[in-house]
């Protein structure tokens, strides 16, 4: 039985609020938590598949050209080596999120340094790694590679549908009382999820089972089928536990196809795991950005013009580009607008989605520029933002769905003690440390994706939720369990949620913050259908049905579900699709960040002393997992602000700091106690459960709060991220006093 | 990882004999194993010295301390005698790595840890240290963590450690037993080498040489400071670090020992700078002159240019603190 809903109109019923158990929204522990902390959650590399052998990918050590020779014979002389795979179906780069088809294939053409060009398979991982390290490759290099996005010779193009020229920004800038006209740069990032990418392929006849670490199985299965030239019906993918994704596991990546080809060829299951260095070199990077921001306002601080023109990069032919201006389009007003993206075509590791593509870097810079405008206009930064929250979408004639931006700004300012901030930069010193305070707004588009989930109420009165949706550490197991529990009146231990198996109905995958609201809505719809069946059995109207503690009744829950079911089970598949509410209303999530930093007046080292985030993201499904998502986003914001940077060698485009020793993510000591406040909100336009995405909101501007605080502490504007100490040294106070 | 032989040494002579025959010692392995996985180092044989009796910290006849080569970084930093009398050493050790690594890393091994040059770690890149004569990619590449002092045309790598910087300031000696069983003592100041034409050689150890201990001289009076500047609050190598031991006599500087990390192929010390300071009254002008002298020959290579002004600022700040009269720290 199917319960289908296309989100063409708002759902104002707020049904989850009427359920008597009230588990949704609480900080329920993850049902998968005990497994994870006791090492019993099976991650991709941990499956014990009989007779399994190991493959290691070989990297290209040129930046552009062709592989002319692979000296396989030399290493195949060793009995431990099973095969050297140089198949035309090998992936040259990962698929983009949602591609649903194979990315560019073939092991001969090299597009970037570090590209996989072969797979060496051996009895053990160590043998395969050694052989892969020593496999001699002949190349024919092409000399016209491009590595520097800003070099004059680098080819660029402009995606047509992401250019806006509205009114006359130049004139607005000329006539303004106050303006900001600055260029900012953000560096590339890698997701660097704790679990490296891994796939184990095993074949039984024509049937392939692939155990891997992926975010969007519903799409990954088609990408794999397309790459292997087989039918998706012959593939089963399993990703019950994923140790972090952040976008890097959205699309199928090279290890999966390599493992599948090798396993077929040698007739044994093959496990291919990326090393940390390979994760950096061959999975998606967030593009570096060059952002030219222009803001103009009157004496009242109200924007008259807004320009946000960006240069990003990707490999030639890739359609994806970092959508830097995504939130700029709707967050603030300003009649005269010029927004655009230009893509430099480089021979660097493929650019793709990394947590909050667009807003993570776009908001970071826009919120720096707003801070600069606030200072120029002599208006408090919180107040300036509030004055520029538009009534209607500034570019399209559509209203906003639920938007708690003002509340987030006010609540944050109040809790942080913003009124006590010293507005004059460089004025507060404690010993060697200069103290500063900064804030920024947060915004991220909201997305609802098509999703299906099957819920079965078993004859014994317990329930099972099944979908190929993944839990990448975000809490999917918890929130789907909570929704099913409340809708069916069951305690948490009577609902089992099963995820990450393509034999289950197709979920939306984890990405773009859409996972919880989309798969949650599918579970909700399935449960509604089951409630209708139960009501039929009781001869009552579903709306009058009360379910709690495993019992059901009209008015009050009286009879146990097992008795009502009388040996039967009830199944339903919930199916949600996005509809008109996504086009006719601007849907987004909002928030605010406040940070206190200390900058060492001698060395320029910055330490964040405290940080607050206040967020509105529709209905919160689990307070604990939602808060954790915000912590994670804000911590990445600290890293973005202070340390994190993919360093490229512009002579060959290779990533210089391709490990966690030199790619500096924040460590515990870099992260102060972070406070997260989730505002109460229901967005009836967003989904039948009034929830929006929260997985990415925590990073969308967080870094700007830190760098704005650095300015407040020191009077130094760092416009070239990250704000490492070398960029502050020159502006620090003179020592000779 | 290249296949290798593995043997456990049961006695010093056994260890040095095997090492003389082209084997590499392994103690904590915190750096060596990483390098072997990447095949940056591919020894044909490992000699495990963890069973040798080198895990004690003991008093020397002249009132100093003898730190056995297998004393872990954690144990060394936590030792009460070291915390009380050589706090600069405890602080330097605790400023490095992570708790887990310090539990494994040993005193002898730490002295021998290799550079963190990105190009050294990537076997696809030419590197004179890894493969003599192949070239240096760091010189014109990304060299944020590289040397500004004592580099050569062949190599601009830095020695990355903290412990040896403090030991340099403390005038510690490395005790080495060679394959004949002879024991010699080498000042830590002379243990590491500048790259010159042979960057493949990090230090003065010859095949068969076994570090058996580090000897600290008797405790010295004065204020001891270790300041490490780095990109994040923990678990990052020094961009610049300063170990300082300064004794005041009234308002003049009676003695001073300085050592610097993150600047050169070895823990850097400059006796001329120390001499300049001794007998003088602390002043901003004096400290500025000391920094000028220290950095007179300093050279940046692009991304590490900032280390020159940074080192200047840190040295001046450390000297100010070290010469402030008041409670010793």
Task: Show the tokens assigned to A53.
Answer: 């052998």
Is there a contact between A92 and A103 (Cβ–Cβ < 8 Å)?
yes
Nearest to B233 among A134, A669, A726 (CB): A669
Strand order in the sheet with A65-70: A109-110, A65-70, A137-141
CB contact under 8 A, B284 and A649: no
Cα A243 to the chain's mean position, in Å?
13
Task: Show the tokens assigned to A216.
Answer: 């969007």
* A391: number of Cβ within 10 Å: 8
CB contact under 8 A, A725 and B39: no
Q: How many helices (H) and strands (E) does chain B have?
A: 12, 11
pLDDT at A736: 61
Q: Does residue A201 have a cis bond before it (omega within 30 degrees)?
A: no
Backbone angles phi, psi at A528, to 5 degrees: -60, -40
Nearest to A656 among B142, B239, B316 (CB): B142
Q: In terms of pTM, does the model score above 0.90?
A: yes
Q: Is the dihedral of CA A720, A726, A731, A732 positive or negative?
A: positive
Model confidence band, residue B328 (pLDDT cutoffs 50, 70, 90): very low
Closest residue in chain B to residue A671, using alpha carbons only: B233
Catalytic residues of A: 696
CA distance A102 to A293: 37
- B284–A contact, CB cutoff 8 A: yes
Task: Show the tokens assigned to A223.
Answer: 């990408």
How many residues belong to chain A?
737
* Mean pLDDT of all residues in B75-94: 98
Closest residue in chain B to residue A665, using alpha carbons only: B232
Picking from B235, B283, B302 by the largest number of A CB atoms within 10 A of its own CB, the best residue to mutate is: B235
CA distance A261 to A90: 8
CB contact under 8 A, B232 and A667: yes
DSSP labels for A54-104? EEEEEEP-SSSEEEEEE-HHHHHTSTTEEEEE--TTSBSSPPPTT--S--S
Return the number of CB contacts < 8 Å for A and B.
Answer: 90
- B45–A contact, CB cutoff 8 A: no
Sorted by sequence, the CB contacts under 8 Å of residue A574 that are 6+ apart come out as: A3, A452, A453, A454, A455, A521, A522, A523, A524, A525, A526, A527, A528, A529
Nearest to A647 among B116, B142, B235 (CB): B142
Is there a contact between B240 and B174 (Cβ–Cβ < 8 Å)?
no
Kindly list the distances between the CA atom of residue A97 and the CA atoms of A640, A649, B32, in Å, as whole numbers in the listed order.
23, 27, 39
pLDDT of B1 higher than 90: no
CB contact under 8 A, B310 and A667: no
CB < 8 Å to B145, chain A: 662
Sorted by sequence, the CB contacts under 8 Å of residue A185 that are 6+ apart come out as: A288, A289, A290, A291, A719, A720, A721
Closest residue in chain A to residue B142, using alpha carbons only: A649
Model confidence band, residue B329 (pLDDT cutoffs 50, 70, 90): very low
Look at residues A399, A382, A367 and name the one whose alpha carbon lies nearest to residue A640: A367
Is there a contact between A513 and A694 (Cβ–Cβ < 8 Å)?
yes
Picking from B313, B315, B324 by the largest number of A CB atoms within 10 A of its own CB, the best residue to mutate is: B313
Picking from A60, A282, A655, A662 by the largest number of B CB atoms within 10 A of its own CB, the best residue to mutate is: A662
Domains delineated in chain A: 2-41+450-577 (3.30.365.10), 358-447+584-735 (3.30.365.10)
CA distance B289 to B283: 10
Supply the DSSP symbol for A18. Answer: G
**pLDDT more than 90, % of chain B:** 97
ipTM of the complex: 0.97
Gyration radius (Cα) of chain B, Å: 20
CB < 8 Å to B300, chain A: none
Q: How far does A569 lie from chain B, in Å, by closest CA?
A: 52
Cα A173-A179-A185 angle, rounded to 5 deg: 105
CB contact under 8 A, B39 and A130: yes
CB contact under 8 A, A736 and B288: yes
CA distance B253 to A126: 57
CB < 8 Å to A654, chain B: 122, 124
Taking all residues of chain B, what is their mean pLDDT, rounded to a whole number?
96
pLDDT at A735: 84
- B185–A contact, CB cutoff 8 A: no
Cα A174-A177-A180 angle, rounded to 5 deg: 70
DSSP labels for A350-389? -B---SSTTHHHHHHHHHHHHHHHHHHHT--HHHHHHHT-
Supply the DSSP symbol for B120. Answer: T
Closest residue in chain A to residue B285, using alpha carbons only: A736
Q: Collapsing DSSP states into helix, strand and coil, what is residue A347? A: coil
pLDDT of B256 higher than 60: yes
- B4–A contact, CB cutoff 8 A: no
Cα A39-A40-A46 angle, rounded to 5 deg: 85
pLDDT of B326 higher than 80: no
CA distance A436 to A634: 18
CB < 8 Å to B231, chain A: 642-643, 664, 724-725
List per-block mean pLDDT (blocks of 10 residues) for chain A, which spans 737 residues. Answer: 94 95 97 96 96 98 98 96 98 98 96 98 97 97 95 97 97 98 98 97 98 98 98 98 97 98 98 98 98 98 98 98 98 98 98 98 98 98 98 97 98 98 95 98 98 98 98 98 98 97 97 97 98 95 94 87 96 98 97 98 98 98 98 98 98 97 96 97 98 98 98 98 98 82
CA distance A463 to A468: 17
Closest residue in chain A to residue B303, using alpha carbons only: A726
pLDDT at A85: 98
Spell out the alpha helix ranges (H) of B140-191.
Answer: 163-169, 188-191
CB < 8 Å to A134, chain B: 39
CB < 8 Å to A664, chain B: 231-232, 236
């Amino acid at each position: 039985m199917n319960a289908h809903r296309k989100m063409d109109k708002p759902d104002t019923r707020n049904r989850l609020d009427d359920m008597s158990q009230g588990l949704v929204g609480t900080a329920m522990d993850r049902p998968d938590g005990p497994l994870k902390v006791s090492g019993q959650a099976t991650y991709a590399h941990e499956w014990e598949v009989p007779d399994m052998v190991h493959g290691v990918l070989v990297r290209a050590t040129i930046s552009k050209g062709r592989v002319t020779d692979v000296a396989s014979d030399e290493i195949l002389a060793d009995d431990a080596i099973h095969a050297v795979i140089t198949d035309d179906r090998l992936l040259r780069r990962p698929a983009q999120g949602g591609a649903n088809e194979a990315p560019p294939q073939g092991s001969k053409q090299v597009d970037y340094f570090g590209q996989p060009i072969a797979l060496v398979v051996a009895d053990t991982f160590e043998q395969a790694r050694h052989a892969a390290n020593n496999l001699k490759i002949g190349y024919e290099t092409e000399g016209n590679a491009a590595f520097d996005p800003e070099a004059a010779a680098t080819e660029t193009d402009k995606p047509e549908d992401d250019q806006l020229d509205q009114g006359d920004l130049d004139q607005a800038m000329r006539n303004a009382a106050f303006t900001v006209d600055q260029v900012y740069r953000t560096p590339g990032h890698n997701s660097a999820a704790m679990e490296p990418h891994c796939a184990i392929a095993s074949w039984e006849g024509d049937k392939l089972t692939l155990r891997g670490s992926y975010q969007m199985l519903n799409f990954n299965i088609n990408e794999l089928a397309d790459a292997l030239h087989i039918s998706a019906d012959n593939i089963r993918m399993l990703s019950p536990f994923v140790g972090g994704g952040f976008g890097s596991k959205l699309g199928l990546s090279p290890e999966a196809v390599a493992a599948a080809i090798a396993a077929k060829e040698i007739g044994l299951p093959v496990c291919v795991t990326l090393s940390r260095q390979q994760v950096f070199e061959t999975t998606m990077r967030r593009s570096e950005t060059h952002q030219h921001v222009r803001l103009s306002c009157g004496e009242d601080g109200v924007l008259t013009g807004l320009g946000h023109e960006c240069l990003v990069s990707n490999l030639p032919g890739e359609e994806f580009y970092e959508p830097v201006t995504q939130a700029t389009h709707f967050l603030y007003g300003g009649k005269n607008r010029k927004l655009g993206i230009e893509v430099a075509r480089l021979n660097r590791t493929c650019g793709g989605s990394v947590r909050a593509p667009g807003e993570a870097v776009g908001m970071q810079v826009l919120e720096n520029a707003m801070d600069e405008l606030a200072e120029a206009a002599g208006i408090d930064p919180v107040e300036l933002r509030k004055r520029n929250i538009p009534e209607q979408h500034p570019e399209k004639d559509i209203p906003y769905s639920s938007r708690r931006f003002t509340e987030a700004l006010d609540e944050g300012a109040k809790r942080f003690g913003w009124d006590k901030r010293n507005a004059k930069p460089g004025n507060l010193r404690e010993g060697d440390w200069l103290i500063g305070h900064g804030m920024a707004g947060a915004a991220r588009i909201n997305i609802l994706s098509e999703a299906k989930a099957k819920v079965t109420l078993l004859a014994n009165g317990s329930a099972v939720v099944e979908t190929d949706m993944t839990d990448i550490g975000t809490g999917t197991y918890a929130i789907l369990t909570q929704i099913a529990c409340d809708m069916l009146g069951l305690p948490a231990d009577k609902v089992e949620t099963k995820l990450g198996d393509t034999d289950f109905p197709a979920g939306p995958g984890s990405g773009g913050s859409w996972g919880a609201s989309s798969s949650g809505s599918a579970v909700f719809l399935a449960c509604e259908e089951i409630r209708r069946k139960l009501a039929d059995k009781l001869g009552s109207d579903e709306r009058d049905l009360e379910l709690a503690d495993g019992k059901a009744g009209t008015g009050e829950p009286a009879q146990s579900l097992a008795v009502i079911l009388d040996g039967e089970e009830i199944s339903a598949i919930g199916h949600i699709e996005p509809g008109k509410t996504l086009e006719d209303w601007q849907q987004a999530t909002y928030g605010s960040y406040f940070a206190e930093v200390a900058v060492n007046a001698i060395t320029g080292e910055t330490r964040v002393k405290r940080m607050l985030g206040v967020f509105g993201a529709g209905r919160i499904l689990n307070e604990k997992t939602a808060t954790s998502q915000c912590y994670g986003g804000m911590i990445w914001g600290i890293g973005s602000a202070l340390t994190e940077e993919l360093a490229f060698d512009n002579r060959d485009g290779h990533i210089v700091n391709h490990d966690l020793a030199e790619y500096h993510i924040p460590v515990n000591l870099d992260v102060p106690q972070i406070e997260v406040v989730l505002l109460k909100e229901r967005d009836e336009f967003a989904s039948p459960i009034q929830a929006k995405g929260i997985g990415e909101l925590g990073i969308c501007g967080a870094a700007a709060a830190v760098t704005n605080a650095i300015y407040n502490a020191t009077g130094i504007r760092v416009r070239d991220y990250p704000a490492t100490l070398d960029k502050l040294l020159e502006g620090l106070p003179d020592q000779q006093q | 990882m290249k296949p290798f032989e593995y043997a456990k040494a049961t006695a010093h002579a056994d260890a040095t004999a095997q090492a003389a025959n082209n084997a590499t010692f392994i103690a904590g392995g915190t750096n060596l194993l990483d390098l072997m996985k990447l095949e940056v180092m591919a020894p044909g044989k490992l000699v495990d010295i963890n069973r040798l009796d080198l895990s004690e910290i003991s008093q020397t006849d002249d009132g100093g301390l003898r730190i056995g080569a297998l004393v872990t970084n954690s144990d060394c930093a936590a030792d009460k005698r070291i915390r009380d009398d050589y706090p600069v050493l405890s602080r330097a050790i605790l400023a490095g790595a992570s708790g887990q690594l310090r539990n494994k890393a040993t005193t002898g091994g730490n002295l021998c840890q290799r550079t963190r040059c990105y190009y050294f770690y990537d076997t696809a890149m030419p590197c004179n240290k890894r493969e003599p004569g192949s070239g240096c990619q760091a010189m014109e590449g990304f060299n944020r963590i590289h040397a500004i002092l004592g580099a050569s045309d062949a190599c601009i790598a830095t020695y990355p450690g903290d412990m040896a910087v403090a030991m340099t300031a403390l005038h510690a000696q490395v005790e080495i037993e060679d394959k004949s069983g002879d024991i010699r003592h080498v000042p830590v100041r002379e243990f590491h080498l500048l790259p010159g034409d042979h960057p493949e050689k990090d230090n003065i150890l010859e095949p068969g040489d076994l570090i058996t201990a580090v000897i600290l001289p008797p405790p010295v009076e004065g204020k001891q400071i270790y300041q490490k500047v780095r990109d994040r609050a923990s678990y990052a190598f020094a961009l610049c670090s300063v170990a300082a031991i300064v004794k005041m006599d009234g308002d003049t500087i009676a003695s001073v020992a300085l050592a610097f990390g993150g600047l050169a192929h070895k823990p850097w010390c400059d006796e001329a700078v120390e001499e300049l300071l001794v007998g003088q009254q602390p002043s901003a002008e004096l400290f500025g002159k000391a920094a000028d002298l220290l950095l007179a020959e300093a050279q940046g290579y692009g991304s590490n240019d900032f280390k020159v002004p940074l080192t200047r600022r840190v040295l001046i700040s450390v000297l100010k603190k070290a010469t402030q009269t008041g409670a010793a720290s």
